Structure 1
């Protein structure tokens, strides 16, 4: 294990997490069998730096290979431990990945729209991941406690969405098998304006090869940014890769997923408030070339 970085030490000062509601032992004032109500998290209690160094060895947990990943802790309604070696099994698998998901706006918008699709947010910042974890837990509990006839029920009850702290630039193939994903999102990523920082951009030639590995043929990679230079950089690198082909923006004008990608994130809403521009580039994963 690597030494904890100063950034991580600072992030550990983030506010309380209520991500896991356990009926035992019962908190003060509750009897056994009762579960404390989870509060919707407030961002002011989750301090974090705006950026994280993706090249240092953060103390991260990740499987050696996708088959060893325990998804039951993330999607308990879909994964159960039934096999002989007590490995969580399911007929479903994660299909959508929001890389650098931030505070989870896209995940929370898409979850009830596509309740049968498992989607995962990947975020490297500790306290931001903690916030999204708590947000999902509180929302799931609130949905489960609604009366059966309530009009506030959301399809799926947000059981199909989760988040994990991960360095996507290093460990993407540790979580996903070849061709597992059908959609990947790169929304308002860090622009890394300085030339010497361009190697830290989330879209580079080497990284695109990994994204092509986990994205199935016919899958879509979405990019949205408010920085024109970064938009041109991402589009240029993706066009240059032999396994991606651009999708004309007019072909996605009625796509509810792209609409959410443009407007549901915190950064997207901030750009709208400031009346800024958003630049979109979407690409389809081509079929693998024949041997």
Structure 2
């Protein structure tokens, strides 16, 4: 496995001529372009823990998590069996396939105490989001410390990062439509995929989907409606949710659809208890 790309910047020599915050330059997308699709079934060179208790979140959120102790060659059963501490900081929102990070950077200032992570499989795109977040942290010290990104195949490795019921929001915004029927198995919303998402969502947690492709929207709604652990929010409740405008309008795809006067199809579902 490759060495993980850390959010914490390496220590640099201090000088008396530090650039003021307003001079911090944001990364430019033109230097981070990459093809739109990535094969989720390929063996990508990824770095991930073997268990959520072994995840080093300090590298992503240094103001929230202390530096971890030295890694053991063989983790003890006590460490692996340690339950999630409800009083400790933990990642609660996950943007699956976060693209260029528009949702994350839009939400972060509004929910500064909520830790949120983006998972993006494309190398260059993940690098752009990382640089974007670091630049925002430099430009506005004390802000954007609650948001991070990692390169990851979320359709394979969510169990390596999250405990059951840890997440309170999951976002699936403008996912790859995989138009060809033989590629429908790679869609982000499937019957088996929803089993896993329900496992990590807390009761009452919300799963957000949006797309500009009507066929994909119908597919996602069909699978979510059929799943016993998800219940669609009424339209008025969707619209009253303060996160909904960010879901619609903060991503690169959402802005593009708006610019082209296209239609966006939104569906939000709540995680409900097992039927009795």
Is TM-score (shorter-chain normalized) higher than 0.5? yes
Q: For structure 1, which runs of at least 5 residues remain unmatched after alignment?
A: 3-16, 145-155
Following the alignment from structure 1 to structure 2, what is the Cα–Cα distance between the partners of residues 46 and 103? 10
Q: Does the residue aligned with 1:128 lie in a helix, a strand or coil?
A: helix
- 2:48 matches 1:62: yes
Following the alignment from structure 1 to structure 2, what is the Cα–Cα distance between the partners of residues 242 and 207? 13
Following the alignment from structure 2 to structure 1, what is the Cα–Cα distance between the partners of residues 210 and 68? 41
Pairing 1:187-198 to 2, within 5 Å after superposition:
187-198=173-184
**Which residue, out of 28, 32, 35, partners 1:46?**
32
Contact 1:122 1:164 in 2 (8 A): yes
Following the alignment from structure 2 to structure 1, what is the Cα–Cα distance between the partners of residues 10 and 182? 47
Q: Report how many aligned residue pairs link the two structures.
A: 260
1:258 match: 244
Please identify runs of 4+ aligned residues in structure 1 that moved more than 6 A: 32-37, 82-87
Contact 1:23 1:34 in 2 (8 A): no
Q: For structure 2, which runs of at least 5 residues remain unmatched after alignment?
A: 73-78, 80-84
- 2:261 matches 1:275: yes
- 2:145 matches 1:159: yes
- 2:92 matches 1:104: no
Pairing 1:111-260 to 2, within 5 Å after superposition:
111-144=108-141, 157-260=143-246
CA 1:85–1:166: 2 relative to 1, 3 Å? closer
CA 1:203–1:142: 2 relative to 1, 3 Å? same
Following the alignment from structure 1 to structure 2, what is the Cα–Cα distance between the partners of residues 67 and 180? 12
How far 1:81 sits from its partner (Å)?
A: 2.9
TM-score (norm 1): 0.83
Following the alignment from structure 2 to structure 1, what is the Cα–Cα distance between the partners of residues 64 and 191? 35
Contact 1:262 1:278 in 2 (8 A): yes
- 2:6 matches 1:22: no
CA 1:82–1:64: 2 relative to 1, 3 Å? closer
Following the alignment from structure 2 to structure 1, what is the Cα–Cα distance between the partners of residues 229 and 143? 36
CA 1:19–1:193: 2 relative to 1, 3 Å? same
TM-score (norm 2): 0.87
Following the alignment from structure 1 to structure 2, what is the Cα–Cα distance between the partners of residues 57 and 82? 28
Please tell me the root mean square deviation across aligned C-alpha atoms, in Å: 2.6
1:8 match: none
How far 1:173 sits from its partner (Å)?
A: 1.1
CA 1:84–1:192: 2 relative to 1, 3 Å? closer
Deviations 1:210-233 (A, max 9, x none): 000110110000000000000000
Q: Does the residue aligned with 2:93 lie in a helix, a strand or coil?
A: strand
